[in-house]
Amino acid sequence: MFDLLIFYMLLSSVVAVLLFVWFKTDAFTEYLSLFGLGRFLLVNDWIEAVKDDPGLSYPAYLIYCNPNFFNRLISCSNCLVFYISAGLNFSIFIVLSLLLSPFILILYPVSVLVTVYFSLSLYYLLVRLVK
């Protein structure tokens, strides 16, 4: 039981840090610029737009520039945490079902909901601590 709690907290911490880096830092855009990939994902345009509006985040700029479903999805913290948690849990449960038993996939929906809850809680706690 304790191992399961540690598993959920570790997985939720990874998801919360990914969300924090995406929404509250410029690390993603800095690394894209460093590796010369800024022109492909509108990073160079965003850097120019930030000169006029310093509070503009990269996810908000993506919605402003191209308001399609994918950009709205990656700009919503609640949506993004669900899909990241579902993807990570799915990959872990596939490996576990191959190693242990295929019946373990029954626990997948519960695992996703627990991870989403803990991830959002940790993310909002991080956001409040940084302010």
For residue 1 the two structure tokens come to 């039981």
Report yes or no on 51 lying in a domain.
no
Count of structural domains, the chain: 1
Q: Is residue 94 part of a domain?
A: yes
Whether residue 2 is predicted with pLDDT greater than 70 in this model: the reply is no
Domain assignment present for residue 58? The answer is: no
Q: Is 36 left (phi over 0), alpha (psi -120 to 50) or beta?
A: left
Full-model pTM:
0.86
Rounded CA-CA distance 73/125 in Å is 22
What residues contact residue 63 under an 8 Å CB cut-off, 6+ apart?
71, 72, 75
pLDDT tens-digit readout, 7-61: 889 999 999 999 999 999 989 999 988 888 888 888 888 888 888 888 889 999 9
Range of the domain at 15: 2-38+77-130
Domain membership flag for residue 31: yes
52 domain residue, yes or no: no
Count Cβ atoms within 10 A of the Cβ of residue 3 and give its class: 0-12 exposed, 13-18 middle, 19 or more buried. exposed
Q: How many angstroms separate the CA atoms of 8 and 16, rounded?
A: 12
- Name the 3-class secondary structure at 57: coil
